[in-house]
Chains A and B, each alone.
Chain A
Amino acid sequence: MNFLSLFVLLPLLMILALFLARNRKQVLGIMVTGSTLLVVLSAYLAYLYTAARGNGATDPMLFTASLSWFKPLNIRYAVGVDGVSVVMLCLTSLIVFTGTFVSWKMAPLTKEFFLWYCLLATGVFGFFITIDLFAMFLFYETALIPMYLLIGVWGTGRKEYSAMKLTLMLMGSSMILLVGILGIYFSSGATSMNILDIVRTPIPLEQQYLFFTLTFFGFGVLGALFPFHSWSPDGHASAPTAVSMLHAGVLMKLGGYGCFRVAISLMPEAAAQLSPLFLVLTAIGVVYGAFAAIRQTDLKYINAYSSVSHCNLVLFAILMLTQTALTGAVLQMLSHGLITALFFALIGMIYGRTHTRLITEMGGLMKIMPFLGVSFVIAGLANIGVPGLSGFVAEMTIFVGAFENNGLLHRILTIAAVTSIVIGAVYILRTIGKFLYGPLQNPEHTKLGDARWYERLAVIMLIAGIVYLGSFPTGISDMINDSFGNLLQAVKN
């Protein structure tokens, strides 16, 4: 038994324990213990991984293990990690941890809420540790369905509509992905569904065109690929806080990660040739998301559209196919994961107090809840890309990397995408100015309190992550950098 499997086993044990839990206290106890263990585990993994690379381990994937599962189809339960998956695992455990604290007062049906929450986490963790196409797809799908109930039961606003829209769109794209995966496996003629095996048996180019499109599209929709992003604003706006955090923070990264790990790594030739088509879409998405955010008045919608913009930027960077841009893409996944989780956490906390998310109905909140206000400003600055915070590092790396690609179209699109930073500043500063500063809109708001200890804990942990990534990115970016060698070789050929 490989210790990576603990990442799946632990959430499963939490689910089992939650089933047996009798009251709220036990539920929270289980969640706190479990998610703390997950954070420790991922930190330990990061340490082991760096140590192993430091000792000269050169395999593309470390800590690999594989267990026979379904022999007739050569499906194995295969696990393994490289730098990209390690950082994603760290991000996931951090967000699961903070999400637990943010949902401290979750009611009604606390136990059921955390059950689904853990199932969602199981899927995400499983997706990042497995390297077998079937197992990856299994975990990917596992992560999708809990969203339906999490939004439908505990959500707000037009929750039924949003939940159904999100589920159907994501499931639909994942079904397209399924065809892509089957196509990859059968046309490569590999002896197993392990991606390390499939890389060794190249897929004929004609098949690559079809299956690259299917796979990239399949994963891309979860990464909010324009114009298939429309599930995301509605879904995020209706979801309960912790779910928005986990979904925008981690689940949407599954899309980017999958595009990179499956679509591009396994079919680099087709990726190089078909990338302009998708680059155009993602570039539109980057700019469109930012513009759309300007028009919104609901805090959650603002952040959701900002997420669309940033997630399209991830896909955009991946498609640039240069080392720097790919590193930037992963950094952006991390950075956006932290920032958006922080945003959603803060919005949830503010909404919990004011019972409105419309910035037109709020004002002067900075004086009433200084902790939340300052944190919101920090998140906003990180989102715009102020140096020292994570957004700067990620976006800088992406745009430098994108500019390294010297095709004319690539240059034009890069310039177009850069504008999103400016537009981002517009909506962030406008939002902050409107509801944190300015005159008090509702006298009732003066009675509201600032953040409680569990809220502070969650917020501080996320801010710490953002500052760490923004100020000391070298360790992380080196870890990511090591993982692209073979892939880029294949693109050049």
Chain B
Amino acid sequence: MSYFTIFSTMRSEVSLLTIILFLLVYDLIAGKKGESYFQPVAILLFTLHTIFNLFPAEAGEAFGGMVQYHPVMTIIKTILNVGTLIIFLQSKYIFDGNRMKHQRGEYYFLTLSTLLGMYLMISSGHFLLFFIGLEMASIPLGTLVAFNKKSKMSAEAGAKFILLSAFSSGILLFGISYLYGVTGSLYFSDVSVLLSNNPLQIMAFLFFLSGLFFKVSFVPFHLWTADVYEGAPTNVTSYLSVVSKSSAAFVLMILLFKLFGNYLYEWQTLLFWIIIVTITVGNLFALRQQNVKRFLAFSSISQAGYIALGIISGSTLGMTTVIYYIFVYLFSNLAAFGVITAIESRTRKINISDYKGLYHTNPKLSFVMMLAMFSLAGIAPFAGFMSKFFIFSAAAQQGYYLLVIIAVVNTIVSLYYYLMVVKAMFIDQNDHPVPALRTDAWNRASLVICTAAIIFVGLLGFLLDVIEKQSFGM
């Protein structure tokens, strides 16, 4: 095995690590002046990294199967990169008000560390590497959630996140240990063949899965979501709800397809019920929320249920549509978070009722927010419509019509609460609306990118084709 093979299979990890180290050193040597350039530097480097890893390499493995690379992973990682990049664009105000100025370095460093952890989870071929990736993706995230030192809410959310995440990791590790006990190996390639209908193995499998479900926040593993989302700084919330959640969904999908093929029946049955409760509970709780961040937390729970509709199909089309769905979800959700950041950073207002009459003072921001809501609700002709249609087709193709019907009924419920936000902005009257404001250039750029994506991604048919070429089914 030459260094070249290692490099080609782990290209993205290596280049990301380089950036992390560079930023760490930059943080040390940059003076007061250099610090203010932190955001541009991080964005620039990360853009280069994204472009550098845009094109898939040959499938292969490194370190004796510890790392297994498949071209579809490049697409997945690119999606995560794009998400992170947009969040970096929106992150200017996380340091506002002199509270956290000196923490700039940590923010980028920690975020990228979690991203590296997700990379490792995605391309791992061994349970140990997988677990290292998982922990790397969780622990720094806990720090990020508690990033705002002066805020009690943030600290509370951080504690909640760390405790529950450690608990779920423990359960997952417990599952891994049993899997090791019954199969005698930790390599995915060995385990996938050795799995049988032995109850002990199935129990180990379930323990393992529940650890992952926690990350994707399927119901009933969702209870941490709303509190953590509400307490965390807004940019971290968007990172949690977009990048962290989608990486977990990707990992879940890849593992189920690649590793647990023998348990197809078991996990399909399990997912069937999980999907129903996830979508329904997520929607019902979202109906009553007043705080925009909590609202998006519950909406993202039900979105996870829709994502799982593609996973349950177990087909190539399923994988294609899941990737496409998340790609669209990323832009829609980040557009919403961009607007929330803009408004929160200036006015500290984060209730839906504060958005009343927003159109009269901030037409552009409300327009973006409206597109985001429409796209999340799956309204034509925006990208969210296409992605929902495709994910339903993936499930319908495998004959899950009942599930699709339950999902579409839920779409109506979700339409109601998404429309409530639109109603607040466009229809409701308000004597004291949010004053006209201009957000910073980076955030504006991020909103332009998201808006363009919401409008045009659905019309560009070749994207789905590109994804399908690399996807695999069971």
A307 at the interface (CB under 8 A from B): no
Contact (Cβ within 8 A) A141 B380: yes
- Say whether A6 faces chain B, with CB atoms less than 8 Å apart: no
Q: Which of A177-185, A262-270, A327-335 contacts B (4 or more CB under 8 A)?
A: A177-185
Q: Nearest chain A CB to B302's CB is how many angstroms away?
A: 15
* Known contacts A153-B426, A186-B396: A178-B317 contact under CB 8 Å: no
Complex contact B379–A73 (CB within 8 A): no
| Residue A72 at the chain B interface, CB threshold 8 Å | yes
A105 to B388, CA, bound (A): 39
Known A179-B404, A182-B393, A186-B397: A70·B416 in contact at CB below 8 Å:
no
Residue of chain A at shortest CB distance from B405: A179
Shortest beta-carbon distance, B433 to chain A, in Å?
15
**Could you tell me which residues of chain A, from 170 to 224, have a CB within 8 Å of some CB in chain B?**
171-172, 175-176, 178-179, 182-183, 185-186, 210
- The digit string for B410-422, where 1 denotes a CB below 8 A from any CB of A, is 0110011001001
Tell me the B309-325 residues at the A interface (CB within 8 Å): 317, 320
On whether the beta carbons of B396 and A179 are closer than 8 Å, the reply is: yes
A281: interface (CB < 8 Å):
no
Cβ of B465 < 8 Å from any Cβ of A? Answer: yes
**A44: Cβ under 8 A from any B Cβ:** no
Q: How far in angstroms is the closest Cβ of chain A from B272? A: 17
- The yes or no answer to A142 lying at the interface (CB within 8 A) is yes
Residues of B within 8 A of A274 (CB): none
Q: Are B385 and A178 in contact (CB under 8 A)?
A: no
CA distance A53 to B401 in the complex (A): 42
In the complex, which residues of chain A have a beta carbon less than 8 angstroms from the beta carbon of B412?
Answer: 168, 171-172, 175
- B408-A179 in contact (CB<8A): yes
- Give the distance in Å from the alpha carbon of A182 to the alpha carbon of B386 in the complex: 13
Complex CA gap A69/B386 in Å reads 12
- Distance (whole angstroms) from the CB of A179 to the closest CB of chain B: 5
- Docked pose: A141 CA to B422 CA in angstroms: 17
Chain A residues in 8 Å Cβ range of B390: 70, 73
Q: Mark A471-485, 1 if CB is under 8 A from B, else 0.
A: 000000000000000
Q: Which of B386, B396, B409, B422 contacts A175 (CB 8 A)?
A: B409
List residues of chain B with CB within 8 A of the CB of A152.
423, 426-427
A377 to chain B, nearest CB (A): 37
Q: Report the minimum CB–CB distance from B8 to chain A (whole Å).
A: 27
A75 touches which of B405, B416, B461 (Cβ 8 Å) = B461
For the complex, give the distance between the alpha carbons of A134 and B396 in Å: 14
Contact A171 B415 (CB under 8 A): yes
Question: Chain A 60-75, CB within 8 Å of chain B: the 1/0 string?
Answer: 0000000011111101
Is A167 at the interface (CB under 8 A from chain B)?
yes
Inter-subunit contact A72/B381 (CB<8 Å): no
Q: Say if the beta carbon of B468 comes within 8 Å of chain A.
A: yes
The secondary-structure label for the interface of chain B is helix
**CB contact list, A60-118 vs B, under 8 A:** 68-73, 75
Query: Nearest chain-B residue to A108 (Cβ)?
Result: B360
Is residue B107 within 8 Å, beta carbon to beta carbon, of the partner chain? Answer: no
Whole-angstrom CA separation of A174 from B405 in the bound complex: 12
Contact present for B317 and A175 (CB under 8 Å): no
| Distance A159 CA – B396 CA, assembled complex (angstroms) | 37
Complex Cα distance A183/B405, Å? 11
Q: Is the CB of B385 within 8 A of A70?
A: no
Known: A171-B412, A179-B404, A183-B401. A145 touches B374 (CB 8 A): yes
Q: Is B159 an interface residue (CB 8 A)?
A: no
Partner of A145, one of B380, B397, B461, B465: B380
Complex Cα gap A183–B401 (Å): 8
Q: Is A57 an interface residue (CB 8 A)?
A: no
Contact between chains at A71 and B379 (CB < 8 Å): no
Q: In whole angstroms, how far apart are the Cα atoms of A73 and B315 in the complex?
A: 13
Q: Which residues of A contact B37 (CB under 8 A)?
A: none
A159→B423 CA distance, assembly (Å): 11
Report the minimum CB–CB distance from B376 to chain A (whole Å): 13
| A 133-161 to B, binary, CB cutoff 8 A, 1 in contact else 0 | 01001111110010011001100000110
Cα–Cα distance between A160 and B356 once the two chains are bound (Å): 14
- Residue A164 at the chain B interface, CB threshold 8 Å: yes
Q: Which of B453-474 contact A (CB under 8 A)?
A: 461, 464-465, 468
- The answer, yes or no, to whether B273 is at the interface (CB within 8 Å) is no
Decide yes or no whether B130 CB sits under 8 A from chain A.
no
| Nearest-CB residue, chain A, relative to B381 | A142
Beta-carbon contact of B416 and A164 below 8 Å: yes
Compute how far the CA of A164 lies from the CA of B385 in the bound complex, rounded to whole angstroms: 19
Given contacts A68-B461, A138-B381, A139-B381, list 18 more A-B pairs with CB under 8 A: A71-B461, A72-B317, A73-B464, A123-B380, A139-B380, A140-B380, A141-B385, A145-B380, A148-B422, A160-B427, A164-B419, A171-B412, A172-B412, A175-B409, A175-B411, A178-B392, A179-B392, A179-B408
Residues of A at the B interface (CB closer than 8 Å) are 68-73, 75, 123, 134, 137-142, 145, 148-149, 152-153, 159-160, 163-164, 167-168, 171-172, 175-176, 178-179, 182-183, 185-186, 210
Residues of B bordering A, CB below 8 Å: 317, 320, 374, 379-381, 385-386, 389-390, 392-393, 396-397, 401, 404-405, 408-409, 411-412, 415-416, 419, 422-423, 426-427, 461, 464-465, 468
A-B contacts, 15 listed (Cβ < 8 Å): A68-B461, A71-B465, A72-B320, A72-B468, A75-B461, A123-B381, A137-B380, A142-B381, A153-B427, A163-B427, A178-B389, A179-B405, A182-B396, A182-B404, A185-B393
